[in-house]
Amino acid sequence: MTNLKRIYLLPEAEISDLYARPVFNQNEQQLYFELTQVELDTLGQFGTIKTKVHFILQLAYFKAKNQFFSFTFDDARADVDYVLAKFFKKTDGVFQGNITRQRINQQKQIILKLFDYQTRSMEQIIQVEAHIGELLRYYPKVHDAFRQLLVYLDNQKIVIPTYRSLQDMFTQSFVNERDRLDQLILLMPLGQQEQLSELIDREDGITKLNIIRADQKNFTYTAISAEVEKALELEGLYKFAKGFLPTLLLSKNAIRYYADIAGQYAASRLRRLDKPQQWLHGLCFIYYRYQQIMDNLITSFMYHTRAITVDAKAYAKKAAGEYHSGLVVDLPKLAKFLKWFPSRKSGLDHDELNQAAYKILPEGQFPALAQFLQGSTFDTKASMREFYFKSSRSFALYLRPILLAVPFVFYKEDNDIMALIDLMKMHYGSGKGPSTFKLPQDIEDTLSKTQLPYLKKDSDDAQVDPHLFEFFVYHKMYRRLDKGLLCCNESVSYCDIDHDLISDALVDDVEKIANEFGYPKIPIYCDERLDAALMTLDSTWNRTTKRISDGENLAFNIKEMKTGEQQDWSLGYDSLDKLDDAFFRTLSQVEIPSIMMYIGDHIGMWRSFTHMKTRYNKKKTPIVLAINACILSDAFGIGIEKMAEMSDLNYNLMRSTHEDFMRIETLCAANDMVGNL
């Protein structure tokens, strides 16, 4: 290790906390200085009180932290007095001299044997280093790997090595892991190596990496087109990364870590790394960035589809208002026409009759009045169809490129929506326009007979209108995306849950894996907890339904139906009951968002919400109102879209705030601030 710079594992405060001798309070003294019969029998082999007290202290400290400590009796005076009083009925005691090193080592070996711990050996060091190397494939952040190592050491009954030894082992393991990855990365084809190198090569003052990692700013045509271009440019490298990265045996967490480094570091800093390291970070970045781009495109698709639908409903609502107001104006004209027609002047020719009739009631108002008299109401769908036809250019600009760029899949096979998507992709992906589109008969037969007329410009047309059919497909996609049925497995947020599940082979090895990483109780605990939860659910369900049936639960109002075959029920409410508590009666009612704002402002909680990117972002701090709305939307389970509608906040602001600032790390930090208040 003399030629390697030791890695930084922990800050000084954490090092002191980890290796400091335990300082017991009164309850801890009672707990850790309680000896079993085996421990009492072992204590008998020491002759003097001094060696016995030292053994008891070392034993208790080992129970607490699985380590051995160097200390004098004066250092542990409070514990010495407690041990003397408990085991030797002495109120005080002053010991001359120290315990010999030979006796201390003897006591350590006895304690190790009592708890079945391993003695330090070269074999043990190799075993720990190998496990650190495996941990680094899952937890490349050294602090995370270190915490997992402590769990492993405790499970394997290995005494925690000194901090210097851990530094040496981690340093060597990092070197070994880097060498392993370098050797595998060098096996990449030359073409992919050159493409990854081009990412950080300077070109006219800006690198491709800077262009790719720039976030989509808004939902304009320019922003969406740029995002589609990025997706098409990265598609080849992404497909390669998808097949190549599993050969590196890295976890998703590790891939995300290497991707974040490429996303945060300046290109000049990345160029200082060795070529294999550049390619590793670049490949992980492409893999994760492509999935983020898919998220952005699908979100854009949802935004514009929803906007077009909302505008169509508004257009139809306005048209319906005009239609009904027109009826109010035209009905008196119809009455006048009906009075005039029987008493019209005789001898009028056809043209004169039309001229006189249309003077009373204009020709264009006859169809609407005829439909009204027949009992027909305003056709909202026809009005929305008219709007969709006028908006056909928006489909081509905003939605069609996304359809072609995103690989959508349905959560199960043999669904009609995928046939429609494939048909659209096949037609427009080959460069053809709407004028040449023709709906195949087999697909037309699958469409609803009530829906089909609204897909034609005129209900008598033989073929569906390509523009109307196009948005019909987009709207079906929107509804299925919103329900999580239509997915994109190359994205982060819209991925099918089954795609993220581990293989059955890993499930079969769960006990082996859990034991290897120091969590042997997890499989057993999960099974027991699940069984217990199901039993509790069944018993609670039976008990609740029985109480309702017996009339014991007064909150349920049961009413027998006339048929006698079923019951109708409703919940009783106590909102009209008076509040008898004098204290609460004096308090004014305050909205939950106002309480959150007060607490956040009072303790500075909003500082905890930092942007996920430390570089290349203009919005360093969030808008407090948006953060508050995001927290409450998650707490109430209503989602940011519904919260945006309820609070009149901009949906794009809510979405960007939730994606950039709401993370486990920031929520935990904010929670700690509130809890420590």
Residue 367, pLDDT above cutoff 80: no
**How much is the pLDDT for 235?**
94
546 burial (CB, 10 Å; 0-12 / 13-18 / 19+) is: exposed
- List alpha helices for 341-415, DSSP H: 350-360, 366-373, 380-390, 392-394, 400-405
Report yes or no: 181 and 276 within 8 Å, Cβ to Cβ: yes
In angstroms, rounded to a whole number, what is the distance separating the alpha carbons of residues 185 and 189?
Answer: 9
Which has the higher per-residue pLDDT, 156 or 119? 156
d(CA 437, CA 433): 7
In this predicted structure, what is the pLDDT of residue 402?
95
Report pLDDT digits (tens) over 629-644.
Answer: 999 988 888 888 888 8
Whether 307 contacts 651, CB under 8 Å? no
Q: What is the pLDDT of residues 53-100, one digit of tens each?
A: 999 999 999 999 989 998 888 888 899 989 998 888 877 666 767 788
Distance separating the N- and C-terminal Cα atoms of the chain: 46
Which pLDDT score, from 0 to 100, does residue 300 have?
A: 93
Chain centroid to Cα 269, Å, comes to: 30
What Cα–Cα distance (Å) separates residue 48 from each residue in 226, 271, 501?
82, 67, 61
Exposed/middle/buried for residue 579 (C-beta within 10 Å: 0-12, 13-18, 19+): exposed
Instruction: For residue 463, give the 3-state DSSP assignment.
Output: coil
In angstroms, the CA 237 to CA 293 distance is 14
Residue 125 pLDDT: 85
pTM beyond 0.75: the answer is no
Do residues 288 and 241 touch, judged by C-beta distance below 8 A?
A: no
Q: How much is the average pLDDT of 406-432?
A: 89
Q: Can you tell me the mean pLDDT for 296-311?
A: 93
Residue 155 has a pLDDT of 86
Q: What is the pLDDT of residues 20-58, one digit of tens each?
A: 999 999 999 999 999 999 999 999 888 888 899 999 999
Confidence of residue 1 (pLDDT cuts 50, 70, 90): very low
Look at the block and give the residue holding tokens 């109780």. 521
Kindly indicate the confidence band of residue 450, based on its pLDDT and cuts at 50, 70 and 90: confident
Q: Please give the residue that has the higher pLDDT: either 104 or 377.
A: 104
292 in Cβ contact with 492 (< 8 Å): yes
Percentage of the chain lying above the pLDDT 70 cut: 88
Determine how many CB atoms are found less than 10 A away from the CB of residue 252: 12
Q: Where are the domains of the chain?
A: 33-114, 186-404, 408-468+479-520, 529-577, 586-675
Q: What is the mean pLDDT of residues 397-407?
A: 94
The SS3 assignment for 415 reads: coil
Which segment of 77-86, 213-222, 406-415, 580-589 scores lowest on mean pLDDT? 580-589
Residue 168's closest CA among 2, 3, 12, 6? 6
CA distance 403 to 474: 9
Confidence of residue 581 (pLDDT cuts 50, 70, 90): low
Least confident of 67-71, 482-486, 554-558, 628-632: 554-558
d(CA 634, CA 481): 20
In this predicted model, which residue has the larger pLDDT, 119 or 172? 172
Q: How far is 88 from 82, CA to CA, in rounded Å?
A: 10
From the number of C-beta atoms within 10 Å of its C-beta (0-12, 13-18, 19+), residue 580 rates as exposed
Tokens of 67: 């380590």
Q: CB neighbours (10 Å) of residue 352?
A: 12
